Amino acid sequence: MLFYQPLDGYRFNSDSIFLYDFIRSFSPSGELLDVGCGVGVIGLLLARDFNLRPTLVDKQRLMVSYARKNAEINGIEAEVVLGDFLEFESPERFDFVVSNPPFYHEDVIKSEDLHIHACRYNSHLPPKPFFAKVKRLLKPRGRFFSVTTHRRSPIL
């Protein structure tokens, strides 16, 4: 599979591949929502390998343009939405929600690059509203998979 991504700024890393590999063991099917999709790696890989109808959401125009391009060049039909996940509305409920969200907290040294900042720091997708929104969008018995840190364990 071929993926385009920015030369500078935030790029997908091994976290996305590890999450994809873990989810594969569940043989997902149905409606898939990829939150903070970036260039679309997780959602598009899963859609390639399983019977999934992917919806990818990201708040950065640049990432959405790459995700759309990556879906097109790999022949995957996907809805790619530009917008803040906390404001995202859908008539669909999802069988699977996946995300590699920004999870660095406010007490770390921050990047001055606005693109990197949006991809790394949880002020752009605060944990409690994020998890509440995921819960509302999942079907009964739906599954949620995410990359996170041990610092989030008290709210999980």
Range name among 5-14, 63-72, 86-95 with the lowest pLDDT average = 5-14
Architecture of domain 28-102+116-148: 3-Layer(aba) Sandwich (3.40)
Range name among 12-16, 17-21, 52-56, 73-77 with the lowest pLDDT average = 12-16
Q: Tokens in use for 88?
A: 């995202």
Mean pLDDT value across residues 70-97: 96
State the pLDDT at residue 16.
87
- Tally Cβ neighbours within 10 Å of residue 69: 17
If one compares 64 and 103, the residue with the highest pLDDT of the two is 64
Rounded CA-CA distance 11/106 in Å is 21
- Report the chain's C-alpha Rg in angstroms: 15
Strand pairing partners for 79? 55
Mean pLDDT value across residues 21-28: 96
For 105-129, write each residue's pLDDT tens digit.
555 554 455 545 444 444 456 778 8
Whole-structure pTM value: 0.82
Q: Which residues of 90-129 are buried (b: 16+ CB within 10 A; e: fewer)?
A: eeeebbbbbbbbbbbeeeeeebeeeebbbbbbbebbebee
State the pLDDT at residue 129.
87
Mean pLDDT value across residues 136-148: 92
DSSP string, the chain: ------SSS----HHHHHHHHHHHTT---EEEEEET-TTSHHHHHHHHHSSEEEEEEES-HHHHHHHHHHHHHTT---EEEES-GGG---S--EEEEEE----B-TTSPPPS-HHHHHHHBGGGS-HHHHHHHHHHHEEEEEEEEE---GGGGGG-
State the pLDDT at residue 13.
78
State the pLDDT at residue 7.
82
